[in-house]
Amino acid sequence: MDHHDEDDAHLSSQIVEEEDLLFDDGPSEQPSLDETTGNADIDKITAQHSDIDETLRVRLAGPSTSKVNYHALQRLFTFIEFLINYYFPIQAGMDSVDKAKVNEIIYEVSKGSSFFENERKKDNAVTGRINALLSKYERIKNDVLSEEFIIVDNMIEELEDERDLNQCIVHIDMDAFYASVEELDQPHLKTVPMVSFAFQAVGGIGMLCTSNYEARKFGVRSAMPGYIALKLCPQLKIVPLNFSKYREASAKVRSVFEQYDPHYCPMSLDEAYLNITEHLKTTNKSPPEVVVEIRDKIFKETLLTASAGIAANKMLAKMCTDVNKPNGQFYLKSELADIQEFINPLSIRKIPGVGRVTERVLNALNVNTCKDIYPQRAMLYKLLSDISFKFLLRAHLGIGSTSVDSEYVRKSISVERTFRSLSSRTDLYFKLKDIAQKLAKDLESKNLCGKTLGLKIKLTSFEVRTRAKTLPGNIYKQEDLEKYASQLLEKELPVSLRLMGIRLSSLCSRDEIDQKGVKRVGICTIF
């Protein structure tokens, strides 16, 4: 499991400013976008659907949630039902359209590739984990577990003490951020031709960073390789990234946040938490009215739309943002009953921190929606780690952190690159040098050094390995990074690689180290 979000400890990956991801290596020709080749006999593929590898199919569909937006749908349903009853009682009938078709296409197009085989391996590993869990589950599922129920219920009481319903937390997330920024300069991308955005070009088009809502209708999503996106949507317009533009837009947005909460906590270029409790005292607007105002200012400032969630804590606020996603907001009142009503029907996948693997695991344990957590609590307590279990309990109770703070201490820094597969030691060492150089530059600009050096390699089979060494003192120079990384690499040879990366952790500011790299004793240390 993960739960890097939502702890007392600071939210993970808070910043990720995605600086200079414009590469200086590799063949930097613009990928020819008119390459509308291989238009895919999609219908043929679609026809022959089989049920085997269903879980793989789902996994291959990528990490994005999709499925169904319960609350938004709920509103739609009531409105539709009203129309139906009011105007005519209608009866219809049809079968599958989108989701399954998209998954099927991705599956067929992927089949056979190294990537595919590696994914199959991972999938099998998950299946193994699940089976192990299930056999434990089988053993206990008929037990009464009265002791466990007591323990858990005490635990819940303790967690309840964490609950703070007095803060008004807002989560704001720009809609299709990079895509929308591009549309500002090229308004024709907004409509009929649907666009999306290439990340990098090694051989082909590379990976997509995001897609506009037009493209999403075709199943085109973040983190999808370009060539698959083109199968799903041959007209797809692909445009290269312009980080500086996104950073500019982000700065404008943040200047608005600043006005409502000077301690606002940015989570990425397009996303932040605000605690508007204090601001509310200065106005007689209601929370949703304030948030409309914020989004309005953002729009006036950038011509970009944002969505927002308003709730008692960060977890709930984030979940609320999803409810009315493009260009909408959702206000969850800080009442126990409202919170329960909101959380219960949601798929556990909507909990931030529950991804596709955790979802599969929990589904196997008959936990599909948040309301399923409570009746299964004793069983989950026995099967999951303490941290994971408490994470789920908090989610089910709608309890989360309310601390919104812009202070941020980086814990690691890294550079990694994918390339056409290499095996020769000289080629590898050459690449490694580039990577070390880039990392050294980054360390320089951030005035950082670190004691733990990590090497990451990805085999051509997509298997990933990491090796690390904690050194006696802090390093930051290119030559040091290269030297220790090379030592780690040496032990892995011979290998055929498609990626290498270097990471430095156990960081500290260079101002704090003496010449030998040993960290000076902090002034405020306790002796």
Ligand X SMILES: Nc1ncnc2c1ncn2[C@H]1C[C@H](O)[C@@H](COP(=O)(O)OP(=O)(O)OP(=O)(O)O)O1
Partner DNA sequence: GGTGCGCTC
Partner DNA sequence: CCAAGAGCGCACC
Partner DNA sequence: ATTCAATTC
Partner DNA sequence: AGATGAATTGAAT
In this structure, are residues 381 and 147 in contact, taking their beta carbons and an 8 Å threshold?
no
Stretch that binds ligand X, among 142-150, 170-178, 421-429, 507-515 (CB under 6 A): 170-178
For residue 494, cis peptide bond before it (omega within 30 degrees of 0)? yes
Contacting residues for 404 by C-beta, under 8 A, at least 6 apart:
169, 261, 263, 264, 265, 273, 274, 275, 314
Q: Cα separation of 170 and 379, whole Å?
A: 34
- Kindly determine how many residues on this chain lie close enough to bind ligand X according to the rule CB under 6 A: 15
Q: Pick one of 5, 6, 175, 480: the residue that binds ligand X (CB under 6 A).
A: 175
Distant-in-sequence, close-in-space partners of 497: CB < 8 Å, separation ≥ 6: 421, 422, 423, 428, 457, 458, 459, 460
String of contacts with DNA for each residue 167-186, x by CB under 7 A: --------------------
Please report, as residue ranges, which positions from 19 to 78 form the binding site for a second copy (by CB under 8 A).
Answer: 67-68, 73-74, 76-78
| Of residues 279 and 298, the one with the C-beta less far from DNA | 298
Q: Whose CA is closest to 299, among 184, 182, 178, 169?
A: 184
User: HSE of 37 in the Cβ direction (CA atoms, 13 Å)?
Assistant: 4
Report, in Å, the least distance between residue 209 CB and ligand X.
4
User: Helices 177-185 and 243-260 meet at what angle, rounded to 10?
Assistant: 110
Residues 263-302: x where in contact with DNA by CB under 7 A, - otherwise, as a string: ----xxxxx-------------------------------
Quick note: the x/- pattern for DNA over 468-497, rule CB under 7 A, is xxx---------------------------
Contact 54, 127 (CB under 8 A): no
Nearer to ligand X by Cβ, of 176 and 455: the residue is 176
Nearest approach, Cβ of residue 325 and a second copy (Å): 15
User: Residue 40, SS3?
Assistant: coil
**178 contact choice in ligand X, Mg ion, DNA, none (CB below 5 to 8 Å, kind-dependent):** ligand X
- Token pair recorded at residue 157: 């009481």
How many DSSP H helices and E strands does the chain contain?
A: 19, 12
Stretch that binds Mg ion, among 69-77, 263-271, 397-405, 515-523 (CB under 5 A): 263-271
Stretch 320-359 residues interacting with a second copy (CB under 8 A): 327
Does residue number 97 form part of the binding site for a second copy (CB under 8 A)? yes
Site track for a second copy across 293-312, x = CB under 8 A: --xx--xx--x-x-------
Contact set for ligand X, span 234-293 (CB under 6 A): 268, 270-271
Q: Segment 166-195, which members bind Mg ion (CB under 5 A)?
A: 173-174, 177
The reply to whether 182 sits near ligand X by the rule CB under 6 A is: no
**214, 271, 359, 482: which is the annotated catalytic residue?**
271
Using CB under 6 A as the binding rule, whether residue 177 contacts ligand X is answered as yes
* The 265-268 sheet, strands edge to edge: 265-268, 271-275, 169-174, 306-311, 329-331
Which position among 109, 174, 272, 380 is part of the footprint of ligand X (CB under 6 A)? 174
Gap between the Cα atoms of 197 and 178, Å rounded:
8
- Catalytic (active site) residue 271: yes
User: What is the 8-class DSSP label of residue 512?
Assistant: G
Q: Provide the 3-class DSSP secondary structure of residue 216.
A: helix
Q: Does 459 bind a second copy (CB under 8 A)?
A: no
5 binds Mg ion (CB under 5 A): no
Query: Rule CB under 8 A: which of 277-296 touch a second copy?
Result: 292, 295-296
Residues 6 or more apart from 399 whose CB is under 8 A from it? Answer: 159, 160, 162, 163, 313, 315
Residues belonging to the active site: 271
Site residues for a second copy per CB under 8 A? 67-68, 73-74, 76-84, 86-87, 90, 92-97, 99, 187-188, 191-193, 292, 295-296, 299-300, 303, 305, 327
